[in-house]
Amino acid sequence: MKLDFSQVPLHDRAFSEKPMTFIDEGPKNFLAAILDLVAIETGNRTARENWQQSQLRNLLRHAAHRSAFWRERIGSGDIRDTALAELPILSRSDLTRQVEAEGPLLSPLDRIPTIKHGTSGSSGTPVQFFLSQMNLEYNAVRAAAQYFIEGRDLRLNSTRLRPVLTPSKNGFTVRTDDNPLGSLGPLIPGGIFKYIEYYNPNMEALCEELARDSIGYLLAQPTLIETMLQSVDPTFFKRAGTAMFNPRASAVDTELRDKFSSIGIPVRSTYSSEEVGSIGLECQANAGVYHVSTSNVLVEIIPDASVRTVSGTTGLVLVTHLHSYATPFIRYDLGDIATLADRCPCGHDGPVLSNIQGRSKALLKHPNGRVSTFYVRARELTAIAEFDEYRIRQIALDRIVVEIGGRDSLTPEETAAVVALIRRHAGDEFQVDVRAVARIDWGASVKRLGYRCELL
């Protein structure tokens, strides 16, 4: 084993000038936390699993001590004899009940700040919960740790595009941060972090802004990128300095992944949720396979025979957030399905997830009760009609609604072609309602999902 910082771009004055000190406390603590996470997730498996079980026992003791809700679920026996698989599954309604009745399970006497947070509602059921300061710090450290795990270039810029609900000039606003590495800033010089919030953006102006500074790491929803590709060639992103595409909020289509990969832009997704943060990071060698963030969560799969994907039967994803002391997430039902394996084909000796499908995002429920994957590419719709945005929703067992935004009307030929496209993917048993609208009403959610099943 070799631990070598020769490839890490340290500042010329990175080290402390204080007596008997190597690195100043802030960056040293952040760097030490990164090493902790890397050691846990890539080190000895037995040591990792022992650590996880200790963290689980600590969490269960805390929850049972602070919460009547959790005492009822965990029971009064010795925590050391409690098996995770024997505890009840935590649903969104269960979570809401606990939060409303008890609030955060950390008090001011704990001297650990908490904040109230919530999901966007893209799952169909918005939930409120509490996070501790440790959760926020973990998320920052875990994001930085991936740079070290993969050997990513810390000097590159990052460009984050995020949808919002507020119109603005040209449909987007821009702000930059000259210290994107946070507490590592005094130690390592990073690029700029450009943060772009958009609402129905002017694509020409958006492309000009993206080309103004080297993009570096591109963090964006795949639907936005697919929409942009109506106006620009994929090589635009290469010319604008994109080093890697990191999709957010939804899965990236194989065709879009291939377009980027073919011009030397790797695609690396993250599997996460608002409630628990990082769940898995996509393997560098195996697309669609995610190394579980074992420093943060335990993952279980509950078989569900009604759900079928191209790879066969998969199951319901349950996560236990090992650091969820403000609002415990123990065997929490994310509403997603996936396949869990013991290790990765790349040689990573830890659990991996694949075939990840969001119940509210990519699944279709048939009249006979069967559930299948469902995905319509943006380019398939743009080949039929011009539009600003689109949304597809399953609102009943036999009905799918397609909204085409930025259009006052559609021609009969366009409508018929959209209906035929949806039935080709979904089946002839569905009634397809195609609507032209000036603006799509996304409600309070900033996760503008191209497809959503409202039945799951």
The answer to whether the Cα torsion of 219, 222, 223, 226 is positive or negative is positive
Please tell me the distance from the alpha carbon of residue 301 to that of residue 73, in angstroms, as a whole number: 20
pLDDT of residue 123: 46
pLDDT of residue 360: 43
Please tell me the distance from the alpha carbon of residue 287 to that of residue 310, in angstroms, as a whole number: 16
Burial of 318 (0-12, 13-18, 19+ CB in 10 A): buried
pLDDT of residue 447: 61
The answer to whether the Cα torsion of 255, 261, 265, 271 is positive or negative is positive
Count up the domains in the chain and report the number: 1
Q: Which residues contact 236 (CB under 8 A, 6 or more apart)?
A: 207, 211
pLDDT, tens digit (0-9, with 9 covering 90-100), for 388-426? 888 899 999 999 999 998 899 999 999 999 999 999 888
> Looking at the predicted structure, is the pLDDT value of residue 42 above 80?
yes
* Enclosing H/E stretch for 331: none
Question: Is the residue at 443 inside a domain?
Answer: yes
Rounded (10°) CA dihedral 288, 294, 296, 300: 70
Question: Is the residue at 32 inside a domain?
Answer: no
pLDDT, tens digit (0-9, with 9 covering 90-100), for 153-211? 999 999 999 988 788 888 899 999 877 777 898 999 889 999 999 887 888 999 999 99
Tokens of 451: 């497809």
Tokens of 52: 């996880």
The residue whose two tokens read 């969560």 is 297
Question: Is the residue at 139 inside a domain?
Answer: no
Question: Is the residue at 352 inside a domain?
Answer: no
pLDDT of residue 452: 81
Question: Is the residue at 311 inside a domain?
Answer: no
Q: What is the pLDDT of the chain when averaged over all its residues? A: 89
Q: How confident is the model at residue 219 (pLDDT cuts 50, 70, 90)?
A: very high
Tokens of 311: 């790879």
pLDDT of residue 267: 96
Question: Is the residue at 377 inside a domain?
Answer: yes
Please tell me the distance from the alpha carbon of residue 52 to that of residue 45, in angstroms, as a whole number: 10
> Looking at the predicted structure, is the pLDDT value of residue 119 above 80?
no
pTM, to two decimals: 0.82
> Looking at the predicted structure, is the pLDDT value of residue 315 above 90?
no
- Long-range CB pairs of 233-239 (<8 Å, 24+ gap) are 234/259, 234/260, 234/262, 234/263, 235/263, 236/207, 236/211, 237/263, 237/265, 238/263, 238/264, 238/265, 239/211
Question: Is the residue at 387 inside a domain?
Answer: yes
pLDDT, tens digit (0-9, with 9 covering 90-100), for 222-281? 878 888 887 899 999 999 999 999 998 777 888 889 999 999 999 999 999 989 999 999
CA distances from 138 to 112, 145, 277, 297, 419 (A): 14, 10, 9, 12, 46
Question: Is the residue at 41 inside a domain?
Answer: no
pLDDT of residue 33: 96
Domain that holds residue 374: 365-453
pLDDT of residue 25: 93
**DSSP annotation string for 16-53:** --STT-SS-HHHHHHHHHHHHHHHHHHS-HHHHHHHHH
